[in-house]
Amino acid sequence: MPNLLLTYKCNRNCPYCFAQERQNALNPDDPGIISWKNLVIAANYFEEAKDPLISVLGGEPTMHPEFISIYRYLLARKFTVKMFSNGMMSHEKIEGLLAALVPDRSRFIINVNQERDRAGHETKMQGQFFSELGMACSLSFNLFRPDPDMDFLLDIIGEYQLRPRIRLGLAHPIAGEPNEFISPEQYGDISETIAQFSKRCDHQGVILSLDCGFTLCDFTDAQLGMLLRSKANLKFRCGPVIDIGPDLNTWACFPLSKLRPQPLEAYPSLSALRKFYANFIVEETRKRGFAGVYKKCEPCRYRKRGQCHGGCRSYAFEEKN
Ligand code: SF4
């Protein structure tokens, strides 16, 4: 289901950031935070879709000045609230979250960076968050270089007794914006890194989940076997995620956020909005003769069988960058 952005503000500066341009455009007239009115409208859409899950993110969602009240409000409406955060917040906010927590319906997915991409205070603040809320936290890590060392993720899970889950995201190009991402030429290297890491996850009972845009043929049979043994969630998909911004403007996903953004209220339901983006992306990629990130995607039997979508569709729009 779609993501709801509470604010574009962030207190970190990650090289792969999807929201950098929006953060740079913030000004006193447009502080980039969701109003209560818009929050209620968006929550109504989720409720009408009979979806008990609402994913909130940013920027950094906890930087919304009324974040704790918003968090309480969404829980009071009986949503399960999955919050994507960097875990860097004041002690008062941590206390506020602890007081609001509904164990069955509160989930925090904390994005952490490797030490070389982390400021000293980041480690300290995230440690404070994990100490207090670790039982509701799992980790997320974005791959934007081909040679990451991910063992530190297992150390954090062990030290703070986090939920044994890691979401691995692959950084993709963002149409019209500079960012760091892994190009398809490097996918083979990253697949080996992930497969080797999955062996260590297996020993520690940690489940890996691959996010969108991974490509099936870049994993060897042996690598897929390692991932299967470790019970990793494998997806080789690309489809509209749908993000709803603080102003209720929506887009298919961050890499395609410049292409035909749509106002939420122009659609009667989230399913109607999803249908628009699904059709739009299929049409646009077909027009560009794009079947996947490789030439071999066109005749590929895995693509024809729906096992792989051929990587991230943002590559279809590269000439517009
Ligand atoms: S669709 Fe493309 S990326 Fe996916 S397995 Fe086939 S050739 Fe590889």
* Least reliable range by pLDDT among 5-19, 213-227, 262-276: 5-19
Q: Does 73 sit in the ligand 1 pocket, CB within 6 Å?
A: no
> Ligand 1, atom 2: nearest CA belongs to which residue?
297
Q: Does 215 sit in the ligand 1 pocket, CB within 6 Å?
A: yes
Interatomic CA distance for residues 294 and 314, integer angstroms: 13
* pLDDT band, very low/low/confident/very high, at 321 (cuts 50, 70, 90): very low
How big is the chain by its Cα radius of gyration, in Å?
19
Q: Does 303 sit in the ligand 1 pocket, CB within 6 Å?
A: yes
Atom of ligand 1 nearest to the CA of 301: 6
* pLDDT band, very low/low/confident/very high, at 176 (cuts 50, 70, 90): low
CA proximity to 250, closest of 241, 201, 57: 241
CA of 296 to the centre of ligand 1 (A): 7
DSSP, collapsed to helix, strand or coil, labels residue 21 as: helix
pLDDT for 30: 72
Half-sphere exposure of 104 (CA within 13 A, CB side): 3
CA of 281 to the centre of ligand 1 (A): 18
> Ligand 1, atom 7: nearest CA belongs to which residue?
297
CATH of domain 3-282: 3.20.20.70
> Ligand 1, atom 4: nearest CA belongs to which residue?
310
| pLDDT tens readout for residues 59-95 | 999 999 999 999 999 999 999 999 999 999 999 999 9
> Ligand 1, atom 1: nearest CA belongs to which residue?
310
Q: Please give the model's pTM, rounded to 2 decimal places.
A: 0.92
Q: What is the DSSP string of 170-217?
A: E---BTTB------GGGHHHHHHHHHHHHHHHHHHT-EEEE-TT--GG
The residue ranges of every structural domain in the chain are 3-282
Report residue 3: phi and psi, to 5°. -100, 145
Interatomic CA distance for residues 120 and 122, integer angstroms: 5
> Ligand 1, atom 3: nearest CA belongs to which residue?
310
| pLDDT tens readout for residues 219-268 | 999 999 999 999 999 999 998 999 999 999 999 998 888 888 999 999 99
Q: Does 217 sit in the ligand 1 pocket, CB within 6 Å?
A: yes
pLDDT for 89: 95
Average pLDDT, the chain: 92
Question: What is the number of helices (H) and of strands (E) in the chain?
Answer: 10, 10
pLDDT for 239: 86
Residue 142 pLDDT exceeds 50: yes
Segment 15-35 shows an average pLDDT of 76
CA angle 289, 303, 176 (to 5 degrees): 45
* pLDDT band, very low/low/confident/very high, at 162 (cuts 50, 70, 90): very high
